Structure 1
Amino acid sequence: MRGRRQSCHYGSAVPEDQLADDIRFRRGRLSLPEHVRSPWWELTRRLLMALGILVGTVLIVYLDRKGYRDSNGDGISLVDAIYYTTVTLSTTGYGDIAPASDFARLVNALVVTPARIGFLVLLIGTTLEVLATRGREQIRTARWRKNMSHHVVIIGYGTKGRSAVETLLNNGKDREHIVVVDPSAAALQDAHSDGLAVVTGDATRREVLRRAGVAEADHVIITTNRDDTNVLTALTVRQLNPDSWIVAAVREEENVALMKQSGANSVITSADAVGRLLGLSSLSPTLGTVMEDLLTYGEGLEVAERELLVTEVGKQPQQLPDQVIAVVRDERVFRYFDPVVTQLARGDRLVVVRPAKELPWAPRPGTHDEDFASED
C-alpha cells in the first residue's frame, strides 16, 4: 500500500514546533468552539503582569529610598525596598517602613496605591477566572457528550474534510452534530472558526475516537492525506462502532479493496476521480462543464437522493418529473434502465438530478405534503 506525504493538516507527523502550547495541553481532549485561549496560558500571562507590577514598584521605592525611613530612623536598602513593596501591595502593612518626604507620600498616593489595587485585582481575578473558565468548559463538554448521538465525525480537516462539512451543512446538517478529529493547530483554528467541535489528536488511537463519540456516531468520514492512516483509522472506527456508515478517501486505486476490508462502506478514490474529470474535460469540454456543474453545490444542477412518493408507485423511472439516474432498492443501487426497477415499488429511494434552486433532499415543489411511499 502506498501513501504519499503531503503538506496537509493530517497525514505525516506534525512537527512539534508548529503546535501551539494550548494544543499540547489539549491533545486528545474535546475542544468546543468559541474557546479563545488555554486558562493556564491566561494564568501565566497574569502572573507575569503581577510580577511586573511588583518589580516596577520596587524600582520606584528604591530610586526614592531617601524619602523613606524605617522604625530606627535609617534609610532603606534594596532588600528593604523589596520588603516594603511586598507588604504594601499585599495590604499587610506592618508600618516599620514608611514614606517620610512629601514626594514619597505623593508617589505612594498616586502610583503605589493604584498598583496595589491592580495587583490584587490580577491575583483574585485570575483565580476566579481560571476556576470559572475550567468549570464552564467542563459543563459545556459534559452537556455536549450527553446530547451528542447520531452525529457525523470528520477525521482530517484539510481540503477534503472542509468540503465534506460544507456539503453536510448545505444539505441541512446542524453544526452541533458534526465533530472534527485532527492533530494540528491549524485544523483546530479553522474548525473553531467554522463553529465546529474538535478533538485534537491522532484518530488511529481508540481514546481519541472515544472522545469524539465515534461509538454513537451514525456516519464517519475519513479524509486524512495518507492511505495507510485511513486504513488504520477505519479499522479502529469499526472496532468501536460496528454499525456506523464509514466513508473514506484513498489516493491510490489499488488501496480501495484494502480500505473496504478494513470496514469502510464507501471508498472514494481522489486521485483517479480527478484524473477522470481531467480526461473528460480534455475529450469533451462540454461534458467536463456538466460534470463540474454537478459537483458544484448551489449552482445549476444537483445530484440528490429522495424518498419515493405514494403517487409514484408503479411508475417507470423515466415517467417522473425528476431526472432519475438510479434507484435504491433493498440497499442495492440499480441504474434507472435496469429491468429490476422497471416499475417503482414501495420503499424505493431515488437518485435524481434536479435544479439547484430546489431543496436537494426534498420532493419536488407541490408534493411536499404527500406521504412517502415507504410510510403506511
Structure 2
Amino acid sequence: MPHEETYDDTRLRRGRLSLPEHVRSPWWELGRRLLAALSILLGTVLLVYVDRGGYRDVNGDGISLIDAVYYTTVTLSTTGYGDIAPVSEGARLVNAFVMTPARIGFLVLLIGTTLEVLATRGREQIRTARWRRKMSHHVVVVGYGTKGRSAVETLLKNGKDREHVVVVDPSASALQDAHSDGLAVVTGDATRREVLRRAGVADADQVIITTDRDDTNVLTALTVRQLNPDAWIVAAVREEENVALMKQSGADSVITSADAVGRLLGLSTLSPTLGSVMEDLLTYGEGLEVAERALLVSEVGKQPQQLPDQVIAVVRDERVFRYFDPVVTQLARGDRLVVVRPAKELPWAPRPGTHDEDLATDGEER
C-alpha cells in the first residue's frame, strides 16, 4: 500500500523553524493573571467609591464601599443589573473611557488561557519573523548528535552568542535537546534547499555538518554551497576514503571522526602519557588548548620559536605553514599564529594577544 504523505511529513520535508521558549512555572503564570485581575478590580472599586456622589442607587441611599464593590463586580463581569447607575457626567465619562477598557481587560484575563492557545501560532510566526530579520553572520549546525553538541559547546565557550547558532535536524529528540540548550531549530532534512533556506544558510558565515551518514553529509555540502558560495563549511565523515569526495562537494575542512578516534585510542595504548596530552588539548577550559591568534606588533620580525606561546603553525596569505618551514623564519605583518597555550592564564604562563595589545595587521603603516 503506498505511503500517504501526512501534514507532519510535509512539514518535515519543507523544514519548520522553532525557537526556544522561555518556560515559566504554571503557578507563576496563574498568580500573575490573578494579580492583574485583582489590580483591575481594586482600581475600579476605588474609582467608583471616590466618585460615589456621581452614582444613584435605586434604594435612594448613598453609595457605600460595599455598593462600590458590588457595582464594580457586576459591571466588569458584564452582568449589569442596573440597580446602581452613573448619573453625573464625570461618572459616565469614567464608565465610558475607564470602566469599558477595564472590563475588556478583565474578560481577557478570565479567558486568557483559551486565547493563549488560539494565539500560539500567530505569536510563533511573529517571533520567527523577528528572528529572521536580525539573523545574519550566524552558524548553522546540521545534526545535533554527539558531534554537533560538542561543536556548539565549543563555539559557545569561545564567545559565540547562542542566538547566532541554528540547528538543523529531523529528529524530535534533537529538537528537545537543542531547545533545552536555548538554540533555534529547523526540523527537517538538510539535503533539501527549502530546509536550509529556513535556517538562513544564504546569510550564514559558517556551516558545520555532522550527521551520521557520509552520503547525507556530501549532499548537504553540495546544497549549502549552491545556496551560499562564500560560507565556510566544516564537515565530518566517518570513513577516510570519503574525505576527497567531501572536499569536492564544497567542504573547506573535513574531519574524519572514526580515524581520529582510532588514532587517539592507538596513541593512548602505545603511550598513555601522549594519549592524556592529546585528550588535554581536545578538552576545553582546562590544561592546554590550541588557539589561533593575530601576530602582535612586538612580535614582527621574530622567529616562531622565540615567542612566549608554543607556535605550531603560521597562517600567511591563507596558507598554513608549520613553524619550522623556511618561509616563516621571520614573522611578518598580517600573519596569524596557531599556538598551544594554557587554557587559563597563570602568573607564570602569560597568554599574549589577550590583553588588547597592538596587532600587526596588514592595514597598519610599516
TM over 0.5: yes
User: Partners in 2 of 1:247 and 1:254 — Cα distance?
Assistant: 17
What does residue 160 of structure 1 align with? Answer: 147
Out of 124, 147, 164, which is 1:177 matched to?
164
| Matched residue SS, 2:332 | coil
Deviation per residue, 1:103-137 (Å, 9 max, x gap) = xxxxxxxxxxxxxxxxx999954552134322321
Correspondence for 1:64 = none
Q: CA 1:342–1:207 in structure 2 vs 1: closer, same or farther (change >3 Å)?
A: same
Aligned equivalents of 1:320, 1:365: Cα separation in 2:
9
| Letter in structure 2 aligned against 1:315 | K
Greater relative CO, 1 or 2 (CA 8 Å, sep 6+): 1
Deviations 1:296-355 (A, max 9, x none): 111110000000011111000001111100000011100000000000000000000000
Q: Which residue pairs with 2:200 in the alignment?
A: 213
Q: 2-side partners of 1:233 and 1:343: how far apart?
A: 41
The offset of 1:228, in angstroms, is: 0.3
1:341 corresponds to which residue?
Answer: 328
Q: Which residue of 1 aligns with 2:222?
A: 235
User: 1-side partners of 2:255 and 2:353: how far apart?
Assistant: 35
Shift of 1:369: 2.8
The correspondence for 2:269, drawn from 259, 278, 282, is 282
**Gapped runs of 5+ residues in structure 2?**
1-7, 24-77, 79-106
Provide the rounded CA distance (Å) in 1 between the counterparts of 2:214 and 2:280: 28
Q: Which residue of 2 aligns with 1:353?
A: 340
Contact 2:238 2:258 in 1 (8 A): yes
Matched residues, percent identical? 92
- Asked whether 1:197 is paired with 2:169, we answer no
Answer yes or no: is 1:294 the counterpart of 2:281.
yes
Whichever residue aligns with residue 185 of structure 1, its letter is A
**For residues 357 and 342 of structure 2, what CA distance do their matches in structure 1 show?**
21
Between 1:156-165 and 1:26-35, the stretch displaced more is: 26-35
Corresponding position of 2:173: 186
1:150 Cα offset (Å): 0.5
Within 1, Cα distance between the matches of 2:237 and 2:118? 44
Decide whether the 8 Å contact of 2:309 with 2:352 is kept in 1.
no
Contact 1:215/1:240, CA 8 A, preserved across alignment: yes
Instruction: Determine the C-alpha separation between the residues in 2 that align with 1:312 and 1:245.
Output: 29
Task: Report the CA distance shift for 1:306/1:23 in structure 2 as closer, same or farther (over 3 A).
Answer: farther
Aligned equivalent of 1:141: 128
Pair 1:146–1:121, CA change in 2 (3 A): closer
Separation in structure 1 between the aligned mates of residue 305 and residue 168 of structure 2, nearest angstrom: 43
Q: CA 1:138–1:305 in 2, change beyond 3 Å: closer, same or farther?
A: same
- 1:326 matched to 2:313: yes
Residue 101 of structure 1 corresponds to none
**Mind listing any 5+ residue stretches in structure 1 that lack a counterpart?**
1-20, 37-90, 92-119
CA–CA distance in 2 between the matches of 1:291 and 1:218?
A: 29
Say whether the 8 Å CA contact 1:23–1:185 is kept in structure 2. no
- Aligned AA (1:246): I
For residues 164 and 334 of structure 1, the distance between their equivalents in structure 2, rounded to whole angstroms, comes to 25
Could you tell which deviates more after superposition, 127-136 or 304-313?
127-136
Give SS of 1:280's match: helix
1:271 aligns with 2:258: yes
SS of residue matched to 2:254:
strand
Alpha-carbon offset, residue 143 of structure 1 = 1.1
Give the structure 2 partner of residue 251 of structure 1.
238
Q: Is the 8 A contact 1:23 1:200 kept in 2?
A: no
AA aligned opposite 1:226: R
CA 1:373–1:227 in 2, change beyond 3 Å: closer, same or farther?
A: same
Aligned residue pairs total: 274
SS in 2 for 1:267: strand
Question: Do the aligned residues in 1 keep the contact of 2:15 with 2:187 (CA within 8 Å)?
Answer: yes
Distance verdict in 2 for CA 1:334–1:129, change over 3 Å: same
Give 1:30's aligned residue: 17
Secondary structure of 2:291 counterpart: strand
Q: SS state of the match for residue 248, structure 1?
A: strand
SS at match of 2:284: coil
Instruction: Tell me if the contact between 1:158 and 1:187 (Cα under 8 Å) persists in the aligned partners.
Output: yes
* Pair 277,242 (structure 1): closer, same or farther in 2 beyond 3 Å: same
Distance 1:123 1:281, change over 3 A: same
Q: Conserved in 2, the CA contact under 8 Å of 1:235 and 1:263?
A: yes
CA distance in 1, matches of 2:13, 2:180: 17
Give the C-alpha shift of residue 367 in structure 1.
6.3
CA deviations 1:60-82 (Å, max 9, x no partner) are xxxxxxxxxxxxxxxxxxxxxxx
